C-alpha cells in the first residue's frame, strides 16, 4: 500500500517522489541506450545531459528537509539488480576515455585517486534503481529516503565527478584540433 496515501499533507513529497522517479527512469534509459553502443558519437553528450539532469534532481533532494520513513527498516524489494553487464558495456563504449583522476575529498584534502566513468555511472544507476524499486511498489517515503540518503552519501558526489569529466572530455573532443584544421576553419569562417 502507498505509504503516503492517507496523509493529505504529503502531496508535496508525493510530487517530489514522482518527479524524481521520472528523472531516474530517464537517466537509466539514457545510460542503457549509450551502453548499447548504437550511437557512439553521441555517447559523451548524451551522458553529459543525463548526468546534469539527475544532478538537478539530487540538488532538490538535498535541499528538502530530511525524509524519514515511518518504518525503521527497508521493505524487501527483492534481490539487488545485476548492474555488472551495464558497467561492462559502458566500459566498452567509453574505451580509451573511461578512466579519470579524481580528488577524493576536496574539502578535507587533496588526495587524488583513479576512477572510471563506467563504474561511477553504474554506481549512480544502482542507487537510483533501488529507490525506483521502492517507488514502483508504493513505498514513496522509503524511495525518497533512499534517493536522498544515497545522493548525499554517494551518488551525488559520483555524479558531480562524472559531470566534470564528461564536460572536460566534450571540450577536448570539440576544441582539440590540429593547427592546420583550425587555420582552415578560421579561414573558411572569415570568407564571405
Q: What per-residue confidence (pLDDT) applies to 21?
A: 95
pLDDT of residue 6: 46
**Residue-level pLDDT at 76:** 64
Burial class (CB in 10 A: 0-12, 13-18, 19+), 117: buried
pLDDT of amino acid 168: 94
Element spanning 99, H or E: strand 99-103
Strands 99-103 and 112-116: antiparallel
The gap from C-alpha 165 to its chain's centroid, in whole angstroms, comes to: 13
**CA–CA distance, 67 with 145 (Å, rounded to integer):** 5
User: So what's the pLDDT on residue 117?
Assistant: 97
List all residues 6 or more positions away from 160 whose beta carbon is below 8 Å from its beta carbon: 55
What's the pLDDT at 89?
Answer: 97
Residue-level pLDDT, tens digit, the chain, 192 residues: 454 554 545 778 888 899 999 999 999 999 999 999 999 999 999 999 999 999 999 999 988 877 776 766 666 666 677 789 999 999 999 999 999 999 888 898 889 999 999 999 999 999 999 999 989 998 888 889 889 999 999 999 999 999 999 999 999 888 876 767 666 766 777 776
Amino acid at each position: 500500500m502507498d505509504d503516503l496515501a492517507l496523509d493529505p499533507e504529503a502531496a508535496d513529497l508525493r510530487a517530489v517522489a514522482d518527479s524524481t522517479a521520472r528523472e531516474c527512469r530517464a537517466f537509466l534509459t539514457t545510460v542503457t541506450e549509450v551502453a548499447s553502443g548504437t550511437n557512439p558519437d553521441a555517447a559523451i553528450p548524451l551522458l553529459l545531459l543525463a548526468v546534469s539532469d539527475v544532478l538537478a534532481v539530487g540538488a532538490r533532494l538535498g535541499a528538502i528537509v530530511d525524509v524519514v520513513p515511518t518504518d525503521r527498516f527497508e521493505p524487501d524489494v527483492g534481490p539487488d539488480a545485476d548492474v555488472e553487464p551495464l558497467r561492462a558495456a559502458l566500459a566498452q563504449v567509453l574505451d580509451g576515455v573511461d578512466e579519470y583522476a579524481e580528488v577524493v575529498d576536496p574539502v578535507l584534502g587533496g588526495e587524488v585517486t583513479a576512477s572510471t566513468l563506467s563504474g561511477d555511472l553504474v554506481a549512480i544507476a544502482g542507487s537510483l534503481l533501488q529507490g525506483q524499486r521502492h517507488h514502483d511498489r508504493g513505498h514513496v517515503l522509503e524511495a525518497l529516503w533512499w534517493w536522498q540518503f544515497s545522493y548525499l552519501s554517494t551518488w551525488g558526489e559520483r555524479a558531480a565527478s562524472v559531470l566534470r569529466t564528461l564536460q572536460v572530455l566534450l571540450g577536448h573532443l570539440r576544441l582539440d584540433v590540429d593547427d592546420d584544421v583550425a587555420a582552415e576553419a578560421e579561414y573558411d569562417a572569415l570568407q564571405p
